[in-house]
Chains A and B, each alone.
Chain A
């Protein structure tokens, strides 16, 4: 597939990395030649220096023969214009990153779709949603929506008190549950294990399950019992992630406190929020945390400007008695280190989040969507079974799938079916396959 990426920032970079491992033809356009030099020295890509909405540059990038264009510069207007040009030049699918929500409104005479944008992705909204899921389901380590949101993959850590601890899939205490929930993968000591009948869950296993949103929520509540009921969420940083997060949390039955250092921004947050308490102060000062009232049952989210402050803020909050702390980390290098810090319960990387969101929507041929899990190597791929497919009418057992890949679920009509060996694939089904990196290509060819 030929892909054009406009904007070579952190998101663009992450996207290049993901796409290159799959051997796509990637062209990157950015106005800063130095960034391009860095990127092209790491990856096998074509780079062009210039504006992403310059028709001349777009033509040079081969916009007329390209299947996917992702516009992810810092400027919304550039992104929209680039998508509009590309759509008219014949690009199959355009993905546009938007940070200003005013552009996402729809009027009879205005919508981004009309302008030629197929998929709108807001980095801040995606990050906020991910943190929201993390805070509301503290037992989960990761939540990835699948099949247009009808299902999701949820990761969770098994502790000694979990009812899953020591259970074996063959002799699972609640066999009915296995029709509603699919165990997709287990991360054990940094190694990926695909669960089979004889797999036994042990302590510190990171288990990934797939199911409908309500089912996964119930399952998590059962498998990872909350030690403390969530009463309050303290958000350090009322920036572009903190504010939408607070807005989402206002609908949940929890108290929300936003700590913002900048006076103007704090005032803006307070004017946008309804029942949240906005404090103007430094989240890295104990006095401010005291005023925010951190205690048992408090979740703390650090979405300040930089990673170091986030980490420090989380540690400080934990020492002050927060039950659960979440840190946003921008630098990919920090993620593994912070994951090993006992103080910090959860790390969220906005670049991974948005890359996930973009790739998820970047479909071509009969591949409907892609997803990545942060801690797990491998991919979740959604395929469509079309009429001429040789897999139509074949049951999962007879599919001869590589051993390192599993069919997790099938979306038929508007319902989701958890795949078992006897599930038969029908035309127009959407199938979720989890594949380890080595077999991704094989799986793709199988369904192509």
Chain B
């Protein structure tokens, strides 16, 4: 690893994040927050920008990132932005402790959406905007943004792109990674603007419309209201959000193809078909189950709640319109399964990802078929395309590590919580970047009461989940640090 080069790129990252804080100050100023809050934003912006510039100048050199540097840049870069991004929370005093502030920032950048803040309506506008902006930046990947807007990263861009973009196989839209990153960010921006406009047309004021567009397209789930989306109490708003959550959970390469005149690409994509099928099945089960358990009186209510919650959980957004922690245990279990599954590769959603689950399922069927035909030759196929064994193996490994980390972290959390449901669901919610869990971390509760140790553990889980395990875990190999 080349520490100089890594620090250099992280410096660039801070220089990109500083103006984002500046924008939050502008919002704070425009919305008439108290001078103390505005000062806090100015100080945070200044500190981040100065730190970035000093690091940038002191490490000035030709950047040529290697494979290992890419992992280090992404992991440490995310930790750095979470530390600096926590400044506004800490300086304004909305977070009770530095740990809370870091938890909130990490939850933002990783698009988890778990919050230690309770009374959102009482918070300054600048803080609410900053929360949502961190999610939006983290959704498509703040480093991919750097790759997109800073072409001098050139060669190393591929390493960063690989380490930060979710999914087992990285689609390239163009031969050059910089232009691919630009196109993806372009699609992301376009969809965000479209959603903000639609929400505004539905009577939501501009600040809330933009904030919700930020956190929907990034599948983050931070809201400007304590009651989350339920606070709007509007079918129109819920429908707009459901549609855009669903889109945010789809591979953005497909959106790009659709926007450039090939909408058939959605239906041709095996992962999209799987994602759509699971989504429909999830809605069906929840609707029927809730109706049968008389959680809701009419099929209309049951369907509305099921559609919203299935989409919100499956895309790992984490908005709430209902307190599903009070639903039937069987319904809660379906939601937990969807938390593990997550969205599609190449989307802003978290979780294991549909394509991995799909391939693992097919791999299992293949193993069973091998029992019947020991001489048989079977291929795991995605559509008509056979999947090579060296693609399948890391996927199996990924799911195993995901489950092991889940078990280990749940054990850790069991020391910090009262009941097992809280322990395991908080870990799934953090690892899968969902946000709300069950029981005392349910959609209508928060993470404020969790012990500091638990918060640190969950912060780590969020980072691991967002960077899809391997990027972070390679740093724990002694070999990584050897020359």
In Å, the complex CA distance between A267 and B376 comes to 10
| Interface check B381, CB cutoff 8 A | yes
Chain A residues within an 8 Å CB radius of B376: 277-280
Q: Are B374 and A267 in contact (CB under 8 A)?
A: no
In Å, the complex CA distance between A277 and B366 comes to 12
Q: Are B379 and A279 in contact (CB under 8 A)?
A: no
Q: How far is the CB of A282 from chain B (nearest CB, A)?
A: 10
In Å, the complex CA distance between A274 and B379 comes to 10
Q: Are B373 and A291 in contact (CB under 8 A)?
A: yes
Q: How far is the CB of B361 from chain A (nearest CB, A)?
A: 18
Residue total for B at the interface (Cβ-Cβ under 8 A):
10
Which of B375, B384, B386 touches A291 (beta carbons < 8 Å)?
B375
Q: Are B374 and A291 in contact (CB under 8 A)?
A: yes
Q: Are A270 and B375 in contact (CB under 8 A)?
A: no
Chain A residues within an 8 Å CB radius of B386: 270-271
Q: How far is the CB of B27 from chain A (nearest CB, A)?
A: 53
Residue total for A at the interface (Cβ-Cβ under 8 A):
15
Chain A residues within an 8 Å CB radius of B381: 271
Q: Are B373 and A266 in contact (CB under 8 A)?
A: no
In Å, the complex CA distance between A187 and B379 comes to 48
Chain B residues within an 8 Å CB radius of A271: 379, 381, 386
Chain A residues within an 8 Å CB radius of B379: 267, 270-271
Q: How far is the CB of A420 from chain B (nearest CB, A)?
A: 50
Q: Are B375 and A281 in contact (CB under 8 A)?
A: yes
Interface residues of B in 367-388 (CB under 8 A from A): 373-379, 381, 384, 386
| Interface check A269, CB cutoff 8 A | yes
In Å, the complex CA distance between A278 and B378 comes to 7
| Interface check A288, CB cutoff 8 A | yes
In Å, the complex CA distance between A271 and B386 comes to 6
Interface residues of A in 240-267 (CB under 8 A from B): 260, 263, 266-267
Interface residues of B in 33-60 (CB under 8 A from A): none
In Å, the complex CA distance between A279 and B376 comes to 4
Which A-chain residue is minimally distant from B374 (CB atoms)? A291
Chain B residues within an 8 Å CB radius of A260: 377
Q: Are B374 and A278 in contact (CB under 8 A)?
A: no
Q: How far is the CB of A256 from chain B (nearest CB, A)?
A: 13
Q: How far is the CB of B82 from chain A (nearest CB, A)?
A: 44
Q: Are B378 and A279 in contact (CB under 8 A)?
A: no
In Å, the complex CA distance between A320 and B202 comes to 74
Q: How far is the CB of A286 from chain B (nearest CB, A)?
A: 13
In Å, the complex CA distance between A443 and B431 comes to 84
Q: Are B375 and A280 in contact (CB under 8 A)?
A: yes
Which A-chain residue is minimally distant from B389 (CB atoms)? A267
10 tightest Cβ-Cβ pairs between the two chains A and B: A271-B386, A270-B377, A278-B377, A266-B377, A279-B375, A281-B375, A271-B379, A280-B377, A270-B379, A291-B375
A and B contact pairs by CB, cutoff 8 A, 20 listed? A260-B377, A263-B377, A266-B377, A267-B377, A270-B377, A270-B379, A270-B386, A271-B379, A274-B384, A277-B373, A277-B376, A278-B376, A278-B378, A279-B373, A279-B375, A280-B377, A281-B375, A291-B373, A291-B374, A291-B375
Residues of A within 8 A of B (CB): 260, 263, 266-267, 269-271, 274, 277-281, 288, 291
Given contacts A270-B379, A274-B384, A279-B373, 12 further A-B contacts (CB under 8 A): A266-B377, A267-B377, A269-B377, A277-B373, A278-B376, A278-B378, A279-B375, A279-B377, A280-B375, A280-B376, A288-B375, A291-B373
